[in-house]
Every structure is written in structure tokens, then in C-alpha cells.
């Protein structure tokens, strides 16, 4: 966190300062997301999960209703909206309107519905606009913060598209830079970049990205890291998703040390604790440099 850069986001007219790393808790309103403890379609359980995350220190609740795990078959738009209506209304009813909610969707009409009718604050797009050509213009109209993630292909084809013809970090950085520039040119000021761990990357490529994470600060936008319980951890430790919390915490700690602004996680308490300890480490390091 020595190189942590401060940013701010405009959330429907209220300013959110990113002056420390933020923790984004994941809720999947799906029956088939890769980590079964994160998924539920029941509004009472969704509300309960959101409440626990907020008490544990989550800054943002990220809600998705269409699984994008490798090989996933996508649900249709109407079903996605139906699930999100239930989930977001349940969270709002139980936690209030001040809770910051992001919607995890790659569909422009779904994003518009969630912002205009459900009061969602942020749109989190795993495809960076590639799966829906209207997404960027829609975000420009809605004027909400937009998370642009790097991916190739679709969830069903992405793991066949891992040939980067060079350094994966350099290629991903270049492609994200083009996207960020295009978004700024369309008048979208609040952009967050996500290198897309696990999306069209091999395990080795994912570790190359985390080892060079600091290069993404060249984008001059907040940096989101989503590595929670993913296959890059499962394969390295020869474990299943339910046993990948320790590996997740190790990688989240590394991401924090390299200046990540947002950690997208299933386990809020562990991420908050990692942030606290890295913050103390950074404070002591700063004190030594001041003496």
C-alpha cells in the first residue's frame, strides 16, 4: 500500500472517496455459480448474507444473477432481471438505501433496469462491453461508475483463448488502456479497471498478472482485484473452492501490497482483516521513512 493512489467515485451525486482499499462482497442470485456458499435465490437468505457482509465491514455489495464461471451456459435476459429484482429489493429492504450496490451484468438493458428502477450505484461488466455493443453508450447515459474487466470470448469459450503472443500483463494492460480511453471519450468519468483473473487466462498467466499488478496503476483509474476462491488457487493448492480461503487471503494481501483499490471477495471478514494488517504495515513503513 506504499503506492496507494486515492480516487473518488460519483454515486448518484454523492461522492465516495477511495482513500483506503474497499471490500466488495459477492452475492450470486444464481443456482450455478462456481462457489456454492455464495449462491442463493431465496430473498431471505440474500438479505441475511448482505447483512452479515455489512457487519463484517463490506463497503460494496456486488450482486449478480447470471453465472459467468468457465463453461457456464448463460440465462436469458428476462430471467436475469427477474432474479436481480428479487435480490436487490431484498437487500435494499433489509439494509436501507445507503448501502452501495453494484450489479454484475454484461447486458446493457439489465444495467439500465437496475440503475433506473432498483437504484444500483455501480455496473460491473465482466466483458468490458464486448458482449453487448450498447453497454458503453448506456453507461454514458446513466452516468454511474463502470467496472471494465478484461476477458476474451464468452464464459463458454474463454479458456480456449489464452494465447497472448507475449507478456500477458503487457497485453492486458494495453487492451484495458484502450477501453479506458474509449470510455473517457464517451464521457464516462468514473471507470474502474479489473484485469480479469481467471477469464481467458491460464493459471500461470494469472500468477504473472498478480506478480506485475502494479503496472496497472498506469491506467490512472481505481484497480479492482477479483481472485476469491478461483481455480488459480484451487489448482496451485490442489483443493476445492470451499477450501481455498487461505490461498485467497494470501493473494488478496499481495494485491493490497501492490496498491489494489477494491477486493471483490466471498469472505468479507478475512479480507477486512487482511486490509487492517497491511494498513498497519504500511503505517509503520511510512513512520520509518519520516524519521
Catalytic residue among 49, 107, 201, 230: 230
Any catalytic annotation for residue 230?
yes
Question: Is 1 inside a domain boundary?
Answer: no
Mean pLDDT of 150-160: 89
The CA-CA-CA angle for residues 148, 149, 150, to 5°, reads 130
What is the model's pTM?
0.94
Q: Which three cell numbers stand for residue 122?
A: 455501480
> What is the separation of C-alpha 202 from the centre of its chain, rounded to a whole number of angstroms?
19
Query: What is d(CA 198, CA 200) in angstroms, rounded to the nearest whole number?
Result: 6
- As for how many domains the chain has, the answer is 1
Q: For 224-262, what is each residue's pLDDT tens digit?
A: 999 999 999 999 999 999 999 999 999 999 999 999 999
Q: Which domain holds residue 257?
A: 7-290
Question: Is 95 inside a domain boundary?
Answer: yes
CATH number, residue 98: 3.20.20.20
Residue 37 has pLDDT above 70, yes or no: no
Question: Is 197 inside a domain boundary?
Answer: yes
Any catalytic annotation for residue 201?
no
Residue 107 has pLDDT above 90, yes or no: yes
Question: Is 45 inside a domain boundary?
Answer: yes
Catalytic residue among 49, 179, 264, 275: 264
Within 10 A of 285 (CB to CB), how many other CB atoms are there?
12
268 confidence band (pLDDT: 50, 70, 90): very high
Question: For residue 290, what pLDDT is reported?
Answer: 59
Mean pLDDT of 253-281: 97
Residue 291 has pLDDT above 70, yes or no: no
289 confidence band (pLDDT: 50, 70, 90): low
Closest by Cα among 209, 274, 281 to 248: 274
196 confidence band (pLDDT: 50, 70, 90): very high
Query: What is d(CA 23, CA 19) in angstroms, rounded to the nearest whole number?
Result: 12
H-assigned helices in 15-165? 43-56, 77-95, 108-118, 135-142
Instruction: Mean pLDDT check: name the lowest of 29-43, 54-68, 98-112, 249-263.
Output: 29-43
Question: For residue 283, what pLDDT is reported?
Answer: 81
Residue 192 has pLDDT above 50, yes or no: yes
Residue 213 has pLDDT above 80, yes or no: yes
> What is the separation of C-alpha 49 from the centre of its chain, rounded to a whole number of angstroms?
18
Residue 71 has pLDDT above 70, yes or no: no
Over the chain, what is the mean pLDDT? Answer: 92
Mean pLDDT of 183-195: 97
Amino acid at each position: 500500500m506504499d503506492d496507494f493512489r486515492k480516487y473518488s467515485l460519483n454515486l448518484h451525486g454523492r461522492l465516495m472517496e477511495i482513500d483506503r482499499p474497499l471490500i466488495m462482497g459477492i452475492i450470486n442470485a444464481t443456482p450455478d455459480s462456481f462457489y456454492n456458499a455464495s449462491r442463493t435465490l431465496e430473498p431471505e437468505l440474500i438479505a441475511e448474507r448482505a447483512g452479515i457482509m455489512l457487519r463484517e465491514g463490506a463497503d460494496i455489495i456486488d450482486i449478480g444473477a447470471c453465472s459467468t464461471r468457465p463453461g457456464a451456459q448463460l440465462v436469458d435476459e428476462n430471467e436475469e432481471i427477474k432474479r436481480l429484482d428479487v435480490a436487490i429489493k431484498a437487500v435494499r429492504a433489509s439494509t436501507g438505501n445507503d448501502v452501495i450496490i453494484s450489479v454484475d451484468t454484461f447486458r446493457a438493458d439489465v444495467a439500465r433496469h437496475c440503475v433506473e428502477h432498483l437504484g444500483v450505484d455501480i455496473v460491473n461488466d465482466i466483458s468490458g462491453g464486448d458482449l453487448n455493443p450498447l453497454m458503453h453508450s448506456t453507461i454514458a447515459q446513466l452516468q454511474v461508475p463502470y467496472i471494465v474487466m478484461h476477458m476474451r470470448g464468452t464464459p463458454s469459450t474463454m479458456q480456449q483463448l489464452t494465447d497472448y503472443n507475449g507478456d500477458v500483463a503487457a497485453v492486458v494492460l494495453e487492451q484495458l488502456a484502450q477501453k479506458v480511453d474509449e470510455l473517457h471519450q464517451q464521457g464516462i468519468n468514473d471507470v474502474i479497471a479489473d484485469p480479469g483473473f481467471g477469464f481467458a487466462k491460464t493459471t500461470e498467466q494469472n500468477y504473472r498478472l498478480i506478480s506485475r499488478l502494479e503496472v496497472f496503476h498506469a491506467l490512472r483509474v481505481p484497480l479492482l482485484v477479483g481472485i476469491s476462491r478461483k481455480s488459480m488457487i484451487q489448482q496451485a493448492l490442489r483443493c476445492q473452492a470451499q477450501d481455498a480461503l487461505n490461498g485467497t487471503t494470501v493473494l488478496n494481501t499481495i494485491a493490497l501490497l501492490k496498491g489494489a483499490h477494491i477486493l471483490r471477495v466471498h469472505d468479507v471478514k478475512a479480507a477486512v482483516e487482511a486490509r487492517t494488517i497491511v494498513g498497519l504495515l504500511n503505517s509503520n513503513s511510512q513512520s520509518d521513512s519520516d524519521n
